[in-house]
């Protein structure tokens, strides 16, 4: 079977650090091209300045990994889907829920695969955590996602703009895990969003959810963390405490700890290949829906201006 010819559109840090090695490590794919107006591309791989140039003058591709900021993703995705190209959407899958729903409808219409790729769901500890929790009674959940924005998102102005999500850009990773591992759906009760007075997106947030069985879920997001970083989910159950740390890579169960390997992006591309070969899509908007609810219902508070 011939490899799937894939192009990466948007050559930022995540594309270079994660997408390129994951594609090159998966024999189901061949990296056919890269696209970016601001990047020189990779040695030995055709590089184009725009998606228009790729579609009109570049090498033929079967699939695209769309790694641009979410605010500009919709028009690019529509253009590629119209050409019958399979689409991998980096998280978050779009700037709005309606955009993603429209893309899903178009993908279904033209018969190509659309993949809303939540990379944190493929962290090593997530699948066994989901299995362990499936038969447990959930008493409460604590999510603490605190990191230093200057380390992880230096100079990324788009992330502070409307649609960029601010601290929910990493926070949505935690929600993608929580919506996947918890056995019951949950919904927002109240939220406080902390916005720097020179930015349009929050630098911190405090959120209270409740699942359909009544269990409380508290989420603490902050981009002002220095020193050790925190990406932790703790679930109190009738059989003891489950904890996922390091963004889902390490699973702590009563009496055991499992340190997994970094398999997130290799797992994503294995899933994408299977979707394409099977003629299916995977578009889960639950994490984005919860973030949208936070912006819909959350109370805003202002803090000091933020400067990179």
Which tokens in the block code for residue 276? 């394409």
212: buried, middle or exposed (CB in 10 Å: 19+, 13-18, 0-12)?
A: exposed
**CA distance linking residue 306 with residue 151, whole number of Å:** 14
Which tokens in the block code for residue 107? 């993908």
CA-nearest of 221, 255, 233 to 140 is 233
**CA distance linking residue 68 with residue 124, whole number of Å:** 26
Q: Which residues are catalytic?
A: 91
Give Cα separations from 183 to 92, 97, 156 (angstroms): 23, 23, 35
Residue 238 main-chain phi, psi, to 5 deg: -70, -5
Helix (H, G, I), strand (E, B) or coil at 39: coil
Which tokens in the block code for residue 146? 């605190």
**CA distance linking residue 152 with residue 137, whole number of Å:** 36
Helix (H, G, I), strand (E, B) or coil at 141: strand
């Amino acid at each position: 079977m011939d490899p799937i010819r894939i192009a990466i559109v948007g050559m930022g840090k995540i594309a270079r650090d994660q997408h390129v090695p994951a594609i090159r490590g998966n024999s189901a794919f061949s990296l056919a091209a890269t696209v970016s107006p601001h990047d020189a591309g990779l040695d030995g791989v055709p590089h184009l300045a725009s998606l228009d140039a790729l579609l009109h003058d570049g090498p033929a591709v079967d699939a695209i990994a769309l790694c641009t900021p979410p605010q500009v993703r919709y028009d690019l995705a529509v253009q590629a889907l119209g050409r019958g190209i399979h689409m991998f959407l980096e998280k978050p899958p779009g700037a709005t829920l309606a955009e993603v729903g429209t893309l899903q409808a178009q993908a279904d219409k033209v018969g190509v695969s659309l993949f809303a790729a939540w990379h944190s769901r493929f962290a090593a500890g997530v699948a066994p955590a989901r299995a362990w929790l499936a038969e447990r009674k959930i008493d409460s959940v604590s999510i603490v996602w605190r990191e230093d924005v200057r380390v992880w998102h230096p100079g990324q102005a788009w992330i502070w703009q409307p649609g960029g999500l601010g601290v929910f850009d990493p926070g949505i990773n935690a929600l993608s895990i929580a919506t996947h591992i918890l056995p019951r759906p949950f919904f927002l009760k109240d939220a406080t969003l902390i916005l720097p007075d020179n930015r349009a997106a929050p630098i911190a947030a405090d959120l209270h959810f409740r699942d359909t069985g009544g269990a409380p879920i508290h989420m603490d997001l902050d981009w002002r963390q220095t020193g050790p970083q925190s990406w932790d989910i703790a679930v109190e159950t009738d059989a003891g405490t489950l904890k996922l740390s390091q963004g889902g890579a390490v699973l702590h169960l009563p009496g055991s700890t499992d340190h997994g390997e970094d398999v997130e992006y290799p797992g994503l591309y294995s899933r994408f290949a299977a979707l394409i070969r099977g003629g299916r899509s995977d578009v889960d908007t639950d994490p984005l829906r919860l973030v949208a609810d936070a912006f819909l219902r959350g109370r805003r508070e202002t803090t000091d201006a933020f400067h990179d």
